[in-house]
Amino acid sequence: MADEVKQRKIEHVNIALTQDVAAPQQANWSDVHLVHQALPEVDLEEIDTSVTFLGRRLRYPIFMSSLTGGHPDVLTINHNLARAAEHYDVALGVGSQRAAIVNPALTASYSIVRESAPNAFLIANIGAPQLIAQAQHTPFTLAQVQEAIRMIQANALAVHMNSLQEAVQPEGDRRAQGEVAALRRLTSQIELPVISKETGAGVSREQALLLRACGAAAIDIGGAGGSSMSAIEGARAQQQGLEQSQSIGNVFRDWGIATPISLIEAGIANLPLISTGGMRSGLDAARALALGATLVGFGLPFLQAASKGYDELRAVMDEIIAQLKVAMQLSGASTIAQLRSTDVVVTGQTHEWLTLRGFEDQLKGMAQRRWRQLLESGETQTQLYPPCVP
């Protein structure tokens, strides 16, 4: 089991870096439009991008998404990611720590992040399927979960939900019954905040409410639109000559709820949200924040850069931050809080889905935030914006 998990970890990274495994036509960020402000009254250099997440103030609303670990070859990647997290004061998550729990010799591939980022906000990571009994394993004990936390001296624990991945994975855990009870039990047993994390299929309104009831302190929506775990596992199955798993992976490659849709649906739970799944630019980040995200998570762009080197990773981070600030200025927002109250127009398939799901009034409200503020102020438009007389 230990060697199997270790090998799977490096295969995931290699496939993500060398093959096209994106979920096609799913991200839908082009459906989300920030309303341009011709006179923004915001100085670009004075923009404040800081946010508070689970009680911790962070310099940027960027999450270096839970990426990897569990194999000696990824130690350098995690080292580079951690250095960047420390430098920029952003949150960083490690990949599933199952590999090190079953094989402690692999601990260093995870613990390197705390060694390289002594002050960063780090998020440990275990899987919901590992909290219940499976044919392949007994459930993780509370002591094992606490070991995952201690391994990186984590500030929070992510419990990832990956039913789609497990269904495609040739050696996947097929059971899911009991995960709700296990999550409830876990959140009552540990002191750290628990983040419920999807891995590429999104979180619906109903599931967000269920996760809140289970004690989740935040939700990483992990929407469809980025790297597809179904496609990655399908590629692994192809390499192993397993036609059925490969076929399932191909059919379900674009399964799930697109990230912008999931962000709005999950917002009903009133929990901090991490928007991951197809984030590719600072403009995407601004859109997600305007829709209600607390943090925006980038996976593949950081993985690709970190695999090349620390300088390459910093260049990508600088580019995203610069793009985010421009989007904020052009939206008339000098802070993240102001960005969340700016006007957003949602169109296309995203609008169609959300309208059918009963979010029509919310969509109208987001598109008219500034205008409604004017009307609710009790003042007339002329009083607020008097004619300019030379």
Q: What is the DSSP string of 30-43?
A: GGEEEPP-SS----
Average pLDDT by consecutive 10-residue portion of the chain (390 residues)? 62 72 74 97 97 98 88 90 98 95 93 98 96 85 97 98 89 89 97 96 97 98 87 82 88 92 98 95 98 96 94 98 98 98 96 97 95 77 59
The token pair that represents 124 in the structure block: 């440990």
Pair 233, 168: CB distance under 8 Å:
yes
Tell me, yes or no, if the pTM score tops 0.85. Answer: yes
Three-class DSSP category at 288: helix
How far apart, in Å, are the Cα atoms of 246 and each of 129, 136, 202, 230?
Answer: 21, 21, 22, 9
> What is the CA 327 to chain-centroid distance, rounded?
20
Q: Which amino acid is at 122?
A: L
- Say how far apart CA 223 and CA 277 lie, in whole Å: 5
pLDDT at 359: 98
| Biggest CA-to-CA distance, the chain | 80
Could you tell me which residues come within 8 angstroms of residue 102 by beta carbon, excluding any fewer than 6 positions away?
1, 2, 5
**How far out from the chain centre does Cα 136 lie?**
28
Residues 325/62, Cβ–Cβ less than 8 Å: no
Handedness of CA 61, 197, 172, 110 (dihedral sign): positive
Task: Give the pLDDT score at 65.
Answer: 93
Q: What's the pLDDT score for residue 249?
A: 86
Calpha distance 171→216 (Å, rounded): 28
Q: Is the dihedral of CA 123, 326, 42, 263 positive or negative?
A: negative
CA 149 vs. chain centroid, Å, equals: 19
Helix runs in the chain, H state only: 2-18, 75-88, 98-102, 108-116, 142-152, 163-168, 179-189, 205-213, 229-239, 243-251, 259-266, 282-290, 300-308, 310-330, 336-339, 348-356, 360-367, 369-376, 381-384
The angle, 0 to 180 degrees and rounded to 10, between the axes of the packed helices 259-266 and 348-356 is: 30
By DSSP bridging, strand 51-53 and strand 194-198 are unpaired
In the chain, the domains with their CATH numbers are: 2-343 (3.20.20.70)
pLDDT score at 227: 83
